[in-house]
Amino acid sequence: MSVMPADAHLPVAHLRPSRNWINDPNGLAFHDGHYHVCFQYNPYGPEHANMHWGHFRSPDLISWEELPPALAPMPGGEDADGCFSGNAVSDGDRMIAFYSAFRTDRWAQPVTTAESRDNGVTWTQRGSLLIPELPDGTTMYRDPYVWREAGRWRMLVGSALADGRAAALLYESGHLEQWEYRGPFLDRAPQPVAPGADTGLGWECPQYLHADGRGAVILSAWDPELGPRRTVVYTGREQDGRFLAAAPALLDHGPDFYAPALLPAPDGRWLLWGWSWEARDPAWVREAGWAGLLTLPREVTLAEDGSVRQRPATELLALRDERAVTASGETAGTVVLGTVGPSFDLTARLEPRAAGTTGGLRLVTSADSAEYLDIKIDPAAGELVVDRDHASLDPRAHGGTYRVPCPEARAVSGAPVELRLVVDRSVAELYLPSGRTLTLRFYPTGGAPWRIEARAGGEGGLGYTVAAWNLRPYTMRYASDVSAEPALTDVSGVLR
């Protein structure tokens, strides 16, 4: 049943198989009482190759079961070199997956399908392409996203256009078989979205969230030379097959978040999982034998002010184990708040007492205090800064400082800075009450328990109220556990 990983960086409350490479979440659907979460998966090694769809399912987002890979490349077929990304829908008693058929001898990854009649346990791949023709002027084309709306099926496909625009192309269908092309739902030349980041020349994995006449289009910004960049979101509303959008925003402010996908839950919530890639050198990845993980499931909402807000799915509160830290007070220097295990969920309220107060929280992960991850208030910029420059004593881990807007951090705001931080061995997800998030990977070399400190710098003191809970692992039944169940007794000899 649940297996504690021997590898200190392997997460226990984030989805991924125990070995090998994964990337994008795929095929997200609620069907037969289960959340189905598939993902890009190479069952043979820790590098991006041989893309299958790995598959987990859960009735409650807490206890998971690994199913056999849903899709595998078919030798000589349209998807011979990989079953690339896409989603899935529940349609009566069947599930249908829409995905990108990859072959190295063609530039586009056209749409094909697979169908399951046994609630996702086994799948039959179509073999042929669902939509063989590509619209004129496309130079990149992949990643279908299908949803049902107003009595018809609709699909977005990610694309780049020869004139330099990125586009999410819209199709419609009555019965999921014949699809009519309606033109670009949204298209843009690259637009700036944050310092040093833009919306990209091509869009991968378009996703569409809609509620009460408003919507959000989530896009993974891609560059033909640099590859995956950042994830961006446009909010607005649809008018006759075109999405009228406001200015774009980053969906996540961290460096290690990409290709998120949506799951419309039966209770009306929109859930989202993203891919968090590695931030360590390839040689270390090869040594570890695994790469990539899926983020926590997040509830995504559209706020009145047009922003998109994310927070961990409520169900995850059930993973909180004993309370590890309870601390409140004030410091003008450094104070140790307590210790945590390597997977924990922390909430904090920080109150800088003077306009020039800096500081924040430090997670110390080595006995000599030389290894730490910092979350710092920048009162001049009105931002929180996550600094991983000292987060690993191993030089093969990547560093960098990353910023997320936090107006309360501004010197004059007078409002407390509130945050929630979920750490799971080598991944940190920071959630702010504004709905902004920052996801990054880090690779502590020191064993737990780890220390949480509050630190104040500059003038004045820092008030703090901090709580942290150690996290229980997901309950996970691996596919190998299933096949390891005792074989049925051979009774052929007695049943004559």
Q: Enumerate binding residues for ligand FRU (CB under 6 A).
A: 23-24, 40, 51, 84-85, 100, 142-143, 204-205, 220, 228, 258-259
**Which is closer to ligand FRU, CB of 17 or CB of 228?**
228
Q: How far is the CB of 229 from ligand FRU (least distance, A)?
A: 11
Could you tell me the smallest distance in angstroms from the CB atom of residue 276 to ligand FRU? 12
Between strands 152-161 and 166-173, the pairing is antiparallel
Nearer to ligand FRU, 20 or 85 (CB): 85
User: Which residue in 168, 238, 242, 155 sits closest to 202, CA to CA?
Assistant: 168
**Residue 434 beta carbon to ligand FRU: minimum distance, rounded to whole angstroms:** 27
Minimal distance, residue 430 CB to ligand FRU, in Å: 22
Assigned token pair, 481: 């556990």
Phi/psi for 282 (5° steps) reads: -55, -35
Smallest gap from Cβ 277 to ligand FRU, in A, equals: 9
Return the number of the residue (87 or 392) whose C-beta is nearest ligand FRU: 87
Comparing CB distances to ligand FRU, the nearer of 42 and 58 is 42
Q: Which residue's CB is nearer to ligand FRU, number 202 or number 360?
A: 202
What is the closest distance, in whole angstroms, from the C-beta atom of residue 222 to ligand FRU in the complex? 7
Q: Are 330 and 462 in contact (CB under 8 A)?
A: yes
Region of residue 14 (left: phi > 0; alpha: psi -120 to 50; beta: else): beta
Please say which residue, 131 or 406, places its beta carbon nearer to ligand FRU: 131
Strand-strand pairing, 270-276 and 290-291? unpaired
**How far lies 228's CA from each of 42, 397, 487, in Å?**
18, 20, 45
Question: CB of 334 within 8 A of CB of 327?
Answer: no
Indicate the residue among 85 and 295 with the shorter CB distance to ligand FRU.
Answer: 85
In angstroms, what is the minimal distance from the CB of 55 to ligand FRU? 15
Q: Is the CB of 54 or the CB of 215 nearer to ligand FRU?
A: 54
Token duo for residue 178: 């014949």
Nearer CB in complex with ligand FRU: 2/50: 50
What CA–CA distance (Å, rounded) separates 192 from 247? 9
Query: Which uninterrupted H or E stretch holds 84?
Result: strand 82-91
| Cα(94)–Cα(119) distance, integer angstroms | 7
Task: Please report how close the Cβ of residue 319 comes to ligand FRU at its closest, in angstroms.
Answer: 27
Q: Which H or E element spans position 204?
A: strand 202-211
Indicate the residue among 24 and 408 with the shorter CB distance to ligand FRU. Answer: 24
Q: Which residues of 181-210 are buried (b: 16+ CB within 10 A; e: fewer)?
A: eeebbbbbebeebeeebbbbbbbbbbbbbb
Burial (CB count within 10 angstroms: exposed 0-12, middle 13-18, buried 19+), residue 448:
middle
| 258/290 with CB nearer ligand FRU | 258
φ/ψ region of 224 (left if φ > 0, alpha if ψ in -120 to 50, else beta) reads alpha
Shortest distance in whole angstroms from residue 325 CB to ligand FRU: 36
Taking CA 321 as the corner, what is the angle to CA 318 and CA 326, rounded to the nearest 5 degrees?
115
∠ Cα 458 462 463 (to 5°): 170
From CA 419, how far away is CA 325, in angstroms rounded?
A: 15
- In the complex with ligand FRU, which residue's Cβ is closer, 200 or 352? 200
Handedness of CA 190, 195, 197, 199 (dihedral sign): negative
- Which amino acid, 126? R
Choose among 393, 397, 395, 396: nearest CA to 445: 393
Tokens of residue 306, six digits: 């047009």
CB of 433 to ligand FRU, least distance (A): 30
Nearest distance, CB of residue 135 and ligand FRU, angstroms: 17
Taking the complex as a whole, the smallest distance from the CB of residue 484 to ligand FRU amounts, in Å, to: 30
